[in-house]
Structure 1
Amino acid sequence: MGAAAEEKVVAAAAAGGAAEGNAAVDSKDLQQQSKALDKLTDHVEDRQLDSSRVQAAMAALASSKEADLKARRLREKELAAVKINPTDVEIIANVLESDKLTAERTLREHKGDAVAAVRSLLH
């Protein structure tokens, strides 16, 4: 064999050794990447919800909603009981260019006081 042939064999062996070395490095990199991925994707075990706690929370929400609805109904009854002057409703609606329902509601909220209702609508 000539010197050139021997150099090719040595170069090929070196390349093979480097390839084996790269394979070992690649294998280590893959293992590290795999471990890192496992850490990212580890899932905490799902907790079982206590059904009694869920039922208590749902009951609290329902009672809160019902209490709000009851308070709203009571407020609407109070507002409906307020006596207002229909002329005031017309004047406020025309002057402020608003609808009659808004004018009436504002008058009721201010106990029929037209001046206070107008001030409220202007602010």
Structure 2
Amino acid sequence: MAETEPEVEVNGEAEVEGEAEDDSQEQDKKQKKQTRHDGGAADLERVTDYAEEKEISAANISSAVEQFGNQRSKENKLRAARENELQKVQVKKEDIELIMNELLVSKAHAEKVLREQSGDVVAALEAIISN
């Protein structure tokens, strides 16, 4: 008995199963081609996104640098004002020497902490110890 391929009906017409397989292979090829096309579109999208980010970042960088500079100048002004305020605080040489001898710190550090604590020796000693 000779084997015949079963018939499959497609679009109202009877086709042999082997021909149906050929159609499915063609559809697979079309899908692969479409997938490659979609991949190309995705690549193009990435390139345009990169170009847009580059444009945006160039504009943002200049404003960020400006903001950073403004923030730094504000901090410097505040620091200078604080230093001027601390210079107005009167401290005794004996108190500075006491802190230097007891805690073995530099004269500048002892004087700074003593000024920050408004000349209070005990508070200055505690501040140095706690740091």
TM-score by length of 1: 0.60
Which of the residues 50, 55, 58 maps onto 1:49? 55
**1:76-119: CA deviations, max 9, x gaps?**
11111111011100011011111111110110000001110011
The alignment-based identity, stated in percent, is 30
- Which residue of 2 is the match for residue 13 of structure 1? none
In the alignment, the residues of structure 2 paired with residue 106 and residue 91 of structure 1 have an alpha-carbon distance, to the nearest angstrom, of 13
Determine the C-alpha separation between the residues in 1 that align with 2:103 and 2:120.
16
Match of 2:21 in 1: none
* 1:122 aligned residue: 129
Corresponding residue pairs, total: 85
Cα distance between partner residues in 2 of 1:55 and 1:65: 15
Determine the C-alpha separation between the residues in 2 that align with 1:105 and 1:72: 13
Which runs of structure 2 are paired with 1:29-44 in the superposition (5 Å)? Answer: 44=46
Q: What do you get for the CA RMSD once the two structures are aligned?
A: 2.4
Consecutive unaligned residues of structure 2, counting only runs of 5 or more, are: 1-35
Amino acid corresponding to residue 85 of structure 1 in structure 2: K
Q: Note the 1:5-44 alignment, pairs <5 A.
A: 44=46
Q: Give CA-to-partner distance per residue, 1:41-76, whole Å, 9 cap, x none.
A: x69322232454332222111101111111111111
Alpha-carbon separation, structure 2, partners of 1:92 and 1:48: 56
- Which structure has more strand as a fraction of its residues? 2
What's the TM-score once normalised by structure 2's chain length?
A: 0.57
Q: Quick one: distance in 2 between partners of 1:56 and 1:103? A: 41
